[in-house]
Amino acid sequence: MASHIVGYPRMGPKRELKFALESFWDGKSSAEDLQKVAADLRSSIWKQMANAGIKYIPSNTFSYYDQVLDTTAMLGAVPTRYGWTGGEIGFDTYFSMARGNASLPAMEMTKWFDTNYHFIVPELGPDTKFSYSSHKAVSEYKEAKALGINTVPVLIGPVSYLLLSKPAKGVEKSFALLSLLGKVLAVYKEVIAELKAAGASWIQFDEPTLVMDLDSHQLQAFTEAYSELESSFSGLNVLIETYFADVPAEAYKTIIALKGICGFGFDLVRGTKTLDLIKSKGFPSGKFLFAGVVDGRNIWANDLASSLSTLESLESVVGKDKLVVSTSCSLMHTAVDLVNETKLDDEIKSWLAFAAQKIVEVNALARALAGHKDQAFFQSNASAQASRKSSPRVTNQEVQKAAAGLKGSDHRRATNVSARLDAQQKKLNLPVLPTTTIGSFPQTMDVRRVRREYKAKKISEEEYVNAMKAEISKVVKLQEELDIDVLVHGEPERNDMVEYFGEQLSGFAFTVNGWVQSYGSRCVKPPIIFGDVSRPKAMTVFWSSMAQSMTSRPMKGMLTGPVTILNWSFVRNDQPRYETCYQIALAIKTEVEDLEAAGIQVIQIDEAALREGLPLHKSEQAFYLDWAVHSFRITNCGVKDTTQIHTHMCYSHFNDIIHSIIDMDADVITIENSRSDEKLLSVFREGVKYGAGIGPGVYDIHSPRIPSTEEIADRINKMLAVLETNILWVNPDCGLKTRKYPEVKPALTNMVSAAKILRKQLASAK
Ligand code: GLN
Ligand code: ZN
């Protein structure tokens, strides 16, 4: 009977780590205070797992910021600009890399596979010196041992570490990062030796890149790395852990052939094909299979009966004593503890399991395999599964029927985009290089307070509406003064672009403490989509009409698109994701049509997160893009030619999905552009034809810096070199919600001036 947990959330059940970090960063508490909070969190997590009966308890899955950055620290691979000169890496250097300091920006951050977690990208080159410079893994192992718990220290594997790195500034883009393997392994050997000396009997190497489409050269690196480490492994049990998707057949073949490895961990929730591989290709005899049957990416209670039968089918392949029940990935991608949910009703709660509950599930499965099935626990799980299947709160026949009816058509607008743009221009009569913003205006303390008080029922609806109306009117006046062409209402009534809609749609539930780490101390609280989605009544028409009544300029209706709502929520697992997405699309479609009927001529449907849902395997990407783009088109296929549909995206790495973006068939797209050295424009330089309106962001709203008129004009000029004058829009990179008015006013003033200068130039060039 054995149970294992791949990793555990670090933030704490009430985001204790977040608050401790932020207070330390603000200089309000000491390093010791922070270390104390961290140690308390670690010890309570270890004890929780030990008490639950987990056999293989991970350590070193705690992090003050990010586990990849921890590995960079372990390897001493600090970029030279941070001025570190050796010795154990302390908070100063560590947090400078993570967050930047007074004189230096932070290292780049990017998404961890297809999750919403972001890691700090290592910057390496031929001159990077590696030396063992953070003993965190060993000290945490010892810390747990002192509590009487013999843990499995977890390290990011050396090959994944290198594959997730990028060439440092000044290093050739083509630099072979894997050529650093030997140097990196030298440090790993020291770490392994020290862990062994401290008493570790197992080490877990996380090698999640094994689920990617790797080429034979990359796979070869795994063989090389682990052969090189083999001698260090003597007297130790080594587990190679993978997660997030199927392990492709070639990768499977490569790793099960590795010598010196005792166990392999697989995600059997997302990796159903891996399950087939294990059964068809076999599993090396005498090795442990860590079977990830409990989903670390979601909040649903496990279907224990079904998992048990999967596990039983594996027993015959790997042998009873070699099967270990595990989670599909680290539990850091799910919420922490259901116990702290005071607002969810009991029925919904019975369908859920957060990290703390998943530990219990893992253990119950392991015990059941060993012949000690907790009948009562399995029984109550089975009835919860049954209640979820039959609950009238989950199923809405009408919605099901409407969504099923969608598949026959691809929902395109009747007229092509250039004819639509002509028709729209006749009504809107915009200047060339029209200016606009992405939606939100600064969320002042006052705005937040009013929203909070209304939610807490401390102020009446009337008071709330009046306060919001005043705010909207202020934002409208400001935009008129700035002479912006297409206005927004500023979104003061919204806390979050997904939550705002989820709260008004049926089929969504909200947690109080269901936080998931996004990066550093930042957490998100995804809504839970538990049932068929429908829209009981109009969601934004009231605010948008109010805003439109305040101005004669076009006011953009502002919606979040179905794919983004889907990708930023915990999604039901009892139907395919696309079914849920189509349902949301239908709900948004009715909102679009209500806005149009209320006289709103420009409607923006944000798809900030469309790219995030892209599957890790190339073979699955086309299918995703197909239904995602289709869902977007469903929302606006029914509007008149004269209604202008905008969309907005928060990323610039879209060269590989440009054809899908064109296929969305929006009239205008505004898109992030300035943070990424204008990589976005290269796709047009390479000759991709884009006929719709496009507004590549002219300045970065993530920074407090105010761009000058010249700088913005220069950016627009660069865009004009690759895009037709009549399709170009001028706008910032993203919403202005996190900025302050003293930054926003001058920045937008300069943006409008730049647009006007260029209009003049274009007119005189005619
Ligand atoms: N309309 C939203 C805003 O401006 C878009 C935010 C986003 O793209 N993340 O806040
Ligand atoms: Zn954005």
* CB 440 near ligand 1, within 6 Å: yes
Residue 6 lies inside a defined structural domain of this protein: no
Do residues 335 and 198 both lie within one domain?
Answer: yes
H or E element in which residue 465 lies: helix 461-482
Residue 108 lies inside a defined structural domain of this protein: yes
* CB 608 near ligand 1, within 6 Å: yes
Please tell me the residue having the least CA distance from ligand 1 atom 8. Answer: 608
Q: pLDDT band at residue 705, thresholds of 50, 70 and 90? A: confident
Residue 412 lies inside a defined structural domain of this protein: no
Check residue 675 and give its pLDDT: 66
The residue from 217, 489, 630, 702 that is catalytic is: 702
User: How much distance in Å is there from the Cα of 510 to the middle of ligand 2?
Assistant: 23
User: How much distance in Å is there from the Cα of 165 to the middle of ligand 1?
Assistant: 29
Long-range contacts of 30-38 (CB under 8 A, 24+ apart): 31/91, 34/64, 34/91, 37/12, 38/62, 38/64
Task: Return the best residue to mutate from 487, 491, 495, 518 for the ligand 1 pocket (most ligand atoms within 8 A of CB).
Answer: 491
Q: pLDDT band at residue 650, thresholds of 50, 70 and 90? A: confident
In the predicted structure, residue 711 carries a pLDDT above the cut 70: yes
* CB 734 near ligand 1, within 6 Å: yes
CA 766/CA 756 separation, integer angstroms: 16
Question: Atom of ligand 1 at shortest distance to CA of 558?
Answer: 1
Do residues 145 and 285 both lie within one domain?
Answer: yes
Check residue 681 and give its pLDDT: 79
Give binding residues as ranges. 18, 116, 438-440, 491, 522-523, 568, 606, 648, 650, 659, 663, 672, 734
User: How much distance in Å is there from the Cα of 607 to the middle of ligand 1?
Assistant: 9
Secondary structure class of 332 (helix, strand, coil): helix
- Please spell the DSSP secondary structure of 279-310, one letter per residue: HHH---TT-EEEEEEE-SS--BPP-HHHHHHH
Check residue 105 and give its pLDDT: 84
CA 447/CA 555 separation, integer angstroms: 21
Closest C-alpha to 52, from 364, 341, 305: 364
Check residue 765 and give its pLDDT: 87
Q: Is 32 exposed, middle or buried (0-12, 13-18, 19+ CB in 10 A)?
A: exposed
Q: Is 249 exposed, middle or buried (0-12, 13-18, 19+ CB in 10 A)?
A: middle
* CB 735 near ligand 1, within 6 Å: yes
In the predicted structure, residue 120 carries a pLDDT above the cut 70: yes
Q: Is 626 exposed, middle or buried (0-12, 13-18, 19+ CB in 10 A)?
A: middle
User: How much distance in Å is there from the Cα of 437 to the middle of ligand 1?
Assistant: 10
User: How much distance in Å is there from the Cα of 606 to the middle of ligand 1?
Assistant: 7
Mean pLDDT of 11-25: 97
In the predicted structure, residue 687 carries a pLDDT above the cut 80: no
Do residues 483 and 603 both lie within one domain?
Answer: yes
In the predicted structure, residue 27 carries a pLDDT above the cut 90: yes
Check residue 686 and give its pLDDT: 81
Mean pLDDT of 85-111: 93
Residue 419 lies inside a defined structural domain of this protein: no
CA 189/CA 194 separation, integer angstroms: 9
Do residues 498 and 378 both lie within one domain?
Answer: no
Do residues 480 and 378 both lie within one domain?
Answer: no
* CB 606 near ligand 1, within 6 Å: yes
In the predicted structure, residue 678 carries a pLDDT above the cut 70: no
β-pairing verdict for 263-267 and 237-241: parallel
Task: Name the CA radius of gyration of the chain, rounded.
Answer: 27
CA 147/CA 39 separation, integer angstroms: 11
- Residue located via tokens 């269901």: 514
CA 385/CA 380 separation, integer angstroms: 9
Task: Return the best residue to mutate from 441, 497, 522 for the ligand 1 pocket (most ligand atoms within 8 A of CB).
Answer: 497
Give binding residues for Zn(2+) as ranges. 648, 650, 659, 663, 672, 734
Residue 406 lies inside a defined structural domain of this protein: no
Q: What are 495-550's pLDDT values in tens digits?
A: 999 999 999 999 999 999 999 999 999 999 999 999 999 999 999 999 999 999 99
CA 737/CA 595 separation, integer angstroms: 23
Do residues 107 and 39 both lie within one domain?
Answer: yes
Mean pLDDT of 60-79: 98
β-pairing verdict for 556-560 and 123-124: unpaired
Long-range contacts of 463-468 (CB under 8 A, 24+ apart): 468/492, 468/493, 468/543
* CB 497 near ligand 1, within 6 Å: yes
Question: Atom of ligand 1 at shortest distance to CA of 650?
Answer: 8
CA 256/CA 58 separation, integer angstroms: 22
Q: Is 118 a catalytic residue?
A: no
Please tell me the residue having the least CA distance from ligand 1 atom 6. Answer: 735
Q: Which ligand is nearest to the CA of 475?
A: 1
- The total of structural domains in the chain comes to 2
Do residues 385 and 468 both lie within one domain?
Answer: no
User: How much distance in Å is there from the Cα of 422 to the middle of ligand 1?
Assistant: 27
Check residue 677 and give its pLDDT: 59
Mean pLDDT of 288-313: 98
CATH number for position 268: 3.20.20.210
Question: Atom of ligand 1 at shortest distance to CA of 734?
Answer: 8
Q: Which ligand is nearest to the CA of 437?
A: 1
Q: What are 341-358's pLDDT values in tens digits?
A: 999 999 999 999 999 999
Give binding residues for L-methionine as ranges. 438-440, 491, 606
Mean pLDDT of 287-309: 98
Do residues 340 and 486 both lie within one domain?
Answer: no
Residue 411 lies inside a defined structural domain of this protein: no
- Please spell the DSSP secondary structure of 403-424, one letter per residue: HHTTTT-----SS-HHHHHHHH
Do residues 382 and 489 both lie within one domain?
Answer: no
What phi, psi does 207 have (nearest 5°)?
Answer: -125, 65
- Among the candidates 338, 363, 390, a domain finishes at 390
Two tokens, residue 737: 């919600």
- Residue located via tokens 């090396």: 284
Task: Return the best residue to mutate from 438, 543, 607 for the ligand 1 pocket (most ligand atoms within 8 A of CB).
Answer: 438
Q: Which ligand is nearest to the CA of 650?
A: 2
In the predicted structure, residue 388 carries a pLDDT above the cut 80: yes
Q: Which ligand is nearest to the CA of 738?
A: 1
Question: Atom of ligand 1 at shortest distance to CA of 560?
Answer: 1
User: How much distance in Å is there from the Cα of 650 to the middle of ligand 2?
Assistant: 4
Closest C-alpha to 604, from 403, 729, 439: 439
- Please spell the DSSP secondary structure of 380-395, one letter per residue: HHHHHHHHHHH-TTT-
Q: Which ligand is nearest to the CA of 697?
A: 2
In the predicted structure, residue 1 carries a pLDDT above the cut 80: no
Q: What are 396-437's pLDDT values in tens digits?
A: 999 999 999 998 899 999 999 999 999 999 999 999 999 999
CA 79/CA 72 separation, integer angstroms: 10
Q: Which residues contact 653 (CB under 8 A, 6 or more apart)?
A: 611, 676, 679
Do residues 320 and 457 both lie within one domain?
Answer: no
Mean pLDDT of 652-659: 82
Please tell me the residue having the least CA distance from ligand 1 atom 4. Answer: 735
User: How much distance in Å is there from the Cα of 733 to the middle of ligand 1?
Assistant: 10
Task: Return the best residue to mutate from 737, 738, 739 for the ligand 1 pocket (most ligand atoms within 8 A of CB).
Answer: 737
User: How much distance in Å is there from the Cα of 399 to the middle of ligand 2?
Assistant: 30
Q: What are 431-482's pLDDT values in tens digits?
A: 999 999 999 999 999 999 999 999 999 999 999 999 999 999 999 999 999 9
In single-letter form, the type of residue at position 140 comes to E
Q: Look up the domain containing 214 and give its range.
A: 16-390
User: How much distance in Å is there from the Cα of 606 to the middle of ligand 2?
Assistant: 8
In the predicted structure, residue 672 carries a pLDDT above the cut 70: yes
Please tell me the residue having the least CA distance from ligand 1 atom 9. Answer: 608
In the predicted structure, residue 36 carries a pLDDT above the cut 80: yes
* CB 672 near ligand 1, within 6 Å: no
Give binding residues for 5-methyltetrahydropteroyltri-L-glutamate as ranges. 18, 116, 522-523, 568
Do residues 384 and 512 both lie within one domain?
Answer: no
In the predicted structure, residue 680 carries a pLDDT above the cut 80: no
In the predicted structure, residue 654 carries a pLDDT above the cut 80: no
Q: pLDDT band at residue 704, thresholds of 50, 70 and 90? A: confident
Please tell me the residue having the least CA distance from ligand 1 atom 1. Answer: 439
* CB 646 near ligand 1, within 6 Å: no
The count of residues in the chain is 766
Task: Return the best residue to mutate from 488, 560, 734 for the ligand 1 pocket (most ligand atoms within 8 A of CB).
Answer: 734
| C-alpha pair distances (Å), 335 with each of 510, 514, 729 | 12, 5, 40
* CB 439 near ligand 1, within 6 Å: yes
Check residue 652 and give its pLDDT: 66
Do residues 332 and 435 both lie within one domain?
Answer: no
Q: How far apart are the first and last CA of the chain?
A: 80
Check residue 639 and give its pLDDT: 98
Q: Which ligand is nearest to the CA of 695?
A: 2
Residue 403 lies inside a defined structural domain of this protein: no
* CB 669 near ligand 1, within 6 Å: no
Q: Which residues contact 42 (CB under 8 A, 6 or more apart)?
A: 59, 62, 140, 143, 144
Check residue 676 and give its pLDDT: 62
- Among the candidates 375, 390, 405, a domain finishes at 390
* CB 558 near ligand 1, within 6 Å: yes
Q: Is 375 exposed, middle or buried (0-12, 13-18, 19+ CB in 10 A)?
A: exposed
